[in-house]
Amino acid sequence: MLREPDCIFCKLVAAEIPAAVVYENDALIAFLDNGPLADGHLLITPREHFERLSDVPPDTCALLARAMPLLVRAMSEVVSSPGCNVLLNDGKVAGQEVPHVHFHLIPRRENDSLGYRWSAQTYAEGRAASIAMAYQKAIREAID
Amino acid sequence: MLREPDCIFCKLVAAEIPAAVVYENDALIAFLDNGPLADGHLLITPREHFERLSDVPPDTCALLARAMPLLVRAMSEVVSSPGCNVLLNDGKVAGQEVPHVHFHLIPRRENDSLGYRWSAQTYAEGRAASIAMAYQKAIREAID
């Protein structure tokens, strides 16, 4: 199993530093973010060290998400939140602070001043079709 | 398979309305958000209709995430983005606009003015431990 000696989440997985763990299995641990954006804010991280989402084996990524319905049901029960955001910051430019991939589960309420900065654009004529074709090509080449 | 007659994503899955699909398999389709936050912004949605994350069968949730590493690698190739955010808005209070569960994959760059509104708190003495115990209890009861 990949492990990075100086990684805070690897230490946390190994119980070398304390964490408020709420759920764990062979693939992952889920624990309270100790700098929460809201009461009950959870993190889900693989036991194994991967820095970026693109590094994570598909089956490991699947196992992380497999726990989400269970965790969001527990969240709505424990902190009575009517909604939540699932968020993964992939790369420093995207806000990733700990270089060990992790999903945030952030409880949401009315007027909580959280959320994503939303400023939707529109595609110029033909642009969406050309990007979609480029995606299809990249994905086909990756799968082949 | 669950389907909601008036759901825009159910119609899109059924190809009754057009979409710039970039990838699909038995469980999901991935396509360009046509009101993108950034060039190349993708959505991943299950073929079957589920409104909330808590409604999604764990295996379906796993299949959605299984495609993420492939899609983010394609994204960094197609739009040369150094990072991305994965985001799911679960519930109206969390920003969910289409009531058919979906993950956003949002390309990120330096100074793009996107990202999550971040205002971290700290837990009062004992609060994290008591929430963690409540989570453990709720999860144990859900699993049993």
Domains belonging to chain A, first-starting first, are: 8-118 (3.30.428.10)
**Contact by Cβ (8 Å): B75, A54:** no
B127: left (phi over 0), alpha (psi -120 to 50) or beta: alpha
Residues B107-119: tens digit of each pLDDT = 999 999 999 999 9
Strand blocks (E) in chain A: 21-24, 28-32, 42-46, 83-90, 103-108
pLDDT average, residue stretch B47-58: 98
pLDDT average, residue stretch B9-15: 97
Give A76 to chain B, closest Cα distance, Å: 10
Say how far apart CA B9 and CA B98 lie, in whole Å: 8
Residues B61-112: tens digit of each pLDDT = 999 999 999 999 999 999 999 999 999 999 999 999 999 999 999 999 999 9
- Using a CB-CB cut-off of 8 Å, the residues of chain A touching B99 are none
Please state, for a pLDDT cut of 70, what percent of chain A lies above it. 100
Count how many residues are written for chain A.
144
For A:26-45, CB contacts with B below 8 A are 31-32, 34-40, 42
Reported ipTM exceeds the 0.85 cut: yes
Say how far apart CA A30 and CA B53 lie, in whole Å: 17
- Using a CB-CB cut-off of 8 Å, the residues of chain A touching B59 are 66
How far from A128 is each of B41, B109, B112, CA to CA, in Å?
10, 19, 20
User: What pLDDT was estimated at residue B144?
Assistant: 85
**Catalytic site residues of A?**
102
pLDDT average, residue stretch B129-140: 97
**Contact by Cβ (8 Å): A60, B47:** no
For residue A121, give both structure tokens.
Answer: 């654009």
Strand blocks (E) in chain B: 21-24, 28-32, 42-46, 83-90, 103-108
For B:75-134, CB contacts with A below 8 A are 75-79, 82-96, 103, 108-110, 113-123, 127-129, 131-132, 134
Residues A57-110: tens digit of each pLDDT = 999 999 999 999 999 999 999 999 999 999 999 999 999 999 999 999 999 999
> How many Cβ pairs closer than 8 A exist between chain A and B?
262
Residue A35 CB neighbours (<10 A): 13
Contact B69 A77 (CB under 8 A): no
- Using a CB-CB cut-off of 8 Å, the residues of chain A touching B122 are 34-35
Contact A142 B74 (CB under 8 A): yes
Strand partners, B105: B42, B86
In sequence order, what are the residues at sequence separation of 6 or more whose Cβ sits closer than 8 angstroms to the Cβ of residue B121?
A: A35, A36, A37, A38
Contact B139 A22 (CB under 8 A): yes
Say how far apart CA B70 and CA A24 lie, in whole Å: 26
Say how far apart CA B127 and CA B123 lie, in whole Å: 6
Measure CA of the first residue to CA of the last residue in chain A; give whole Å: 27
**Contact by Cβ (8 Å): B20, A132:** yes
- Using a CB-CB cut-off of 8 Å, the residues of chain B touching A110 are 93
Residue B49 bears catalytic tag? no
Contact A109 B103 (CB under 8 A): no
